[in-house]
């Protein structure tokens, strides 16, 4: 029972590991004894997180690959196996939104930019599917492995304006369920696929949408908090407990679910 949350000696890879949420996940896993691969589009951005983890006594390594480039992912997969001999955890934290795939208050659906919509769909769903496809080959051979996708509160409760982001995160939820069945039924119970669905966390992409320059709430921010029973935005540390639970044997009979970490936003009827 005491070893239920033990992750010591595991090897993890975090796509989007240089981002705010991905970086925090890397720090948490490292604190539990995981050797964490921080994946970025450049070595310099990955090193910012890796160096912080190492400075705090953890194990981490920086890698470069593009979640939309299968060849670069396959090269990285082979390098990880050659150097570390295994991969235990894949966290698909890469994702995001673009203004052109968002409907501004003075615009309508017919004003949306098709190219930006396609980029958002690619980044969030293809950028989750391709790493899962490539690195699941390791898990299939090992007969064990953990995949954690990053969904969103907007996947099941579509938000006004962010049409591309909401649609792509709904697709992540669907893919998580599909992949869970695919891996467990073909390769055994040691491979589990789940998702974490954060609510509203302040990041560089949404800061101006939720907060004014002086830190006060925008009308959008006020509306969101009015429908969040806990009355605040999330902070990266709020994801830590759910992350460790899903990565460890504490959830060894759990697969195919998406866990809301949203302060109650998804069940609010305010």
Interhelix angle 43-55/20-31, rounded to 10 degrees, is: 40
**How far is 212 from 120, CA to CA, in rounded Å?**
25
Sheet holding 11-15, edge to edge: 59-64, 35-40, 11-15, 89-92, 145-150, 191-198, 258-261
- As given in the structure block, the two tokens for residue 85 are 């001999």
For residue 203, give every residue at least 6 positions away whose Cβ sits within 8 Å of its Cβ, in sequence order, or none. 19, 20, 21
- Bridge partners, residue 201, by sequence: 234
User: Which position among 32, 165, 175, 265 bears the catalytic label?
Assistant: 165
Cβ-based neighbour number of residue 23 at 10 Å: 25
Specify whether 84 is catalytic: no
Helical (H) or strand (E) element with 80: helix 70-84
Indicate the DSSP class of residue 265. Answer: G
**How far is 233 from 205, CA to CA, in rounded Å?**
15
Sign of CA dihedral 25, 26, 31, 37: positive
Question: What does the longest C-alpha to C-alpha distance in the chain come to?
Answer: 56
- C-alpha distances in angstroms, 24 versus 18, 19, 31, 39, 64? 9, 8, 11, 13, 18
Catalytic site residues? 165
């Amino acid at each position: 029972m005491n070893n239920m949350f033990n992750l010591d000696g595991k090897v993890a890879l975090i796509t989007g590991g240089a981002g705010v949420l991905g970086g925090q996940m890397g720090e948490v896993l490292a604190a539990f004894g995981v050797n964490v691969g921080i994946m970025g589009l450049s070595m310099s951005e990955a090193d910012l997180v890796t160096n912080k983890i190492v400075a705090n006594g953890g194990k981490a390594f920086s890698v470069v690959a593009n979640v939309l480039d299968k060849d670069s992912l396959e090269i990285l997969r082979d390098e990880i196996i050659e150097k570390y001999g295994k991969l235990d955890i894949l966290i698909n934290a890469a994702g995001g939104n673009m203004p052109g795939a968002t409907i501004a208050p003075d615009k309508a659906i017919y004003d949306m930019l098709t190219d930006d919509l396609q980029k958002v769909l690619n980044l969030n769903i293809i950028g989750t599917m391709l790493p899962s496809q490539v690195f699941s080959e390791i898990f299939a051979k090992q007969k064990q492995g953990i995949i954690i996708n990053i969904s969103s509160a907007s996947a099941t409760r579509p938000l006004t304006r962010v049409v591309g982001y909401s649609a792509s995160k709904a697709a992540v939820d669907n893919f998580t369920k599909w992949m869970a069945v695919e891996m467990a039924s073909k390769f055994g119970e040691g491979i589990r696929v789940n998702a974490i669905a954060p609510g509203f966390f302040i990041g560089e992409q949404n800061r101006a949408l939720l907060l004014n320059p002086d830190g006060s709430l925008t009308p959008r921010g006020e509306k969101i908090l009015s429908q969040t029973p806990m009355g605040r935005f999330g902070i990266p540390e709020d994801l830590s407990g759910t992350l460790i639970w899903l990565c460890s044997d504490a959830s060894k009979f759990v697969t195919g679910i998406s866990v809301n970490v949203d302060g109650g936003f998804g069940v609010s009827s305010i």
